[in-house]
Amino acid sequence: MRKITIAVDGYSSCGKSTISKTLARTLGYIYVDTGAMYRSIALYALRNGFVKEDGGVEKDALIAVLKNIIVGFSSDGSAMLNGENVESEIRGMKVSNCVSYVSAIPEVRHHLVELQRIMGRNGGVVMDGRDIGTVVFPNAELKLFVTADAAIRAQRRYDELKANGQPANYDEILENVKKRDYLDETRVESPLRKADDAIVLDNGNMTISEQNAWVMEKVMDICQNLE
Ligand code: DC
C-alpha cells in the first residue's frame, strides 16, 4: 500500500499526539510531534534568559541564535535539544506559559517548517501540530482537525502532568489552555485554522478506542481510493 502523509492539526491538549502515535505505530509510519519542536526552542529561550516576566520573548536575541539551536528526536521519540533529552522538561508549565510567544515568531516558524518538510519528504509520516495541513504539507492525503471542549482538554493535561509526577493546578491549566487557543488562533503568522479539506474530529466524548477506529476508517478510505 502506498505510504501517505497524514496531517493532524487542532487545539492544544486534545489528544493529537495520542492519535498520531497510535496511527504511526499501526501503519509503520514516522511520527513527528511539531509542538515538541516549538517547546524545545521555548525551553532554550527560557534557559538563556530571553523570556520576560509576562512570558513574552526577546525576539531579536532569540532569532540571532536560532542557527545554534538543534532540535530533533531520539530513536524512542524523545525531544532532543542540542543533544540533550528534554522530553520531560518541555511538558512543564514554564514552557507551556511562553511557547505561544515563541511559536508566533515568523523566523522560528520558517526554521522549523523547513525541518519538518525534510522530515516528512518521503511520505509515510504522521505529523501533528497547528499548521501541518495548511502550511507544512498542504497536499497531505489525509488531514484531521482535532478539537474538544477546553475544560475536557485541561483535565487531560492535568491528569498527564500528575501521572508524570509534575506539579499541576487545574485552574491554572484551564487558563493556559484558553490563552493558548486564543494566541494560536489570532497570531499573524500561520494561525491555527482548519484546512478547507480537513476532516473534523471532536473527541470530547469519545473513548480512545472509538477514536482509533474512527481514524483508521478514514485512513483506509483514503488508501483504498489511491490504489
Ligand atoms: O501541541 P503542543 O501543545 O505541544 O504545542 C505547543 C505550542 O506550539 C502551542 O502553543 C502551539 C505551538 N505550535 C505551533 O504553533 N505550530 C505547530 N505546528 C505546533 C505547535
Q: For residue 41, report the distance from its CA to the centre of ligand 1, in Å.
A: 11
120 lines ligand 1 (CB under 6 A): no
Q: For residue 36, report the distance from its CA to the centre of ligand 1, in Å.
A: 7
Q: Which pLDDT tens digits describe the chain residue by residue (227 residues)?
A: 789 999 999 998 898 999 999 999 999 999 999 999 999 999 999 999 999 988 789 999 999 999 999 999 999 999 999 999 999 999 988 998 899 899 999 999 999 999 999 999 999 999 999 999 999 999 999 999 999 999 999 999 899 889 989 899 999 999 999 998 998 899 899 899 999 999 999 999 999 999 999 999 999 999 888 86
User: Which ligand 1 atom minimizes the distance to the CA of 136?
Assistant: 18
**Running DSSP on this structure, what letter comes out for residue 126?**
E
User: Which ligand 1 atom minimizes the distance to the CA of 38?
Assistant: 8
Q: C-alpha distances in angstroms, 100 versus 124, 152, 189, 216, 222?
A: 28, 20, 12, 31, 33
In tens, the pLDDT along 218-227 reads: 999 998 888 6
pTM of the model: 0.92
Rounded CA-CA distance 127/105 in Å is 21
Q: What is the residue whose three cell numbers read 518521503?
A: 122
12 lines ligand 1 (CB under 6 A): yes
Which residue lies with its CA nearest to atom 20 of ligand 1? 35
Are 51 and 98 in contact by the 8 Å Cβ rule? The answer is yes
Q: For residue 13, report the distance from its CA to the centre of ligand 1, in Å.
A: 10
For ligand 1, mutation pick of 9, 17, 31, 34 (most atoms within 8 Å of CB): 34
Are 129 and 35 in contact by the 8 Å Cβ rule? The answer is yes
Are 13 and 157 in contact by the 8 Å Cβ rule? The answer is yes
116 lines ligand 1 (CB under 6 A): no
Which residue lies with its CA nearest to atom 16 of ligand 1? 130
87 lines ligand 1 (CB under 6 A): no
10 lines ligand 1 (CB under 6 A): no
Q: For residue 226, report the distance from its CA to the centre of ligand 1, in Å.
A: 31
Q: For residue 115, report the distance from its CA to the centre of ligand 1, in Å.
A: 15
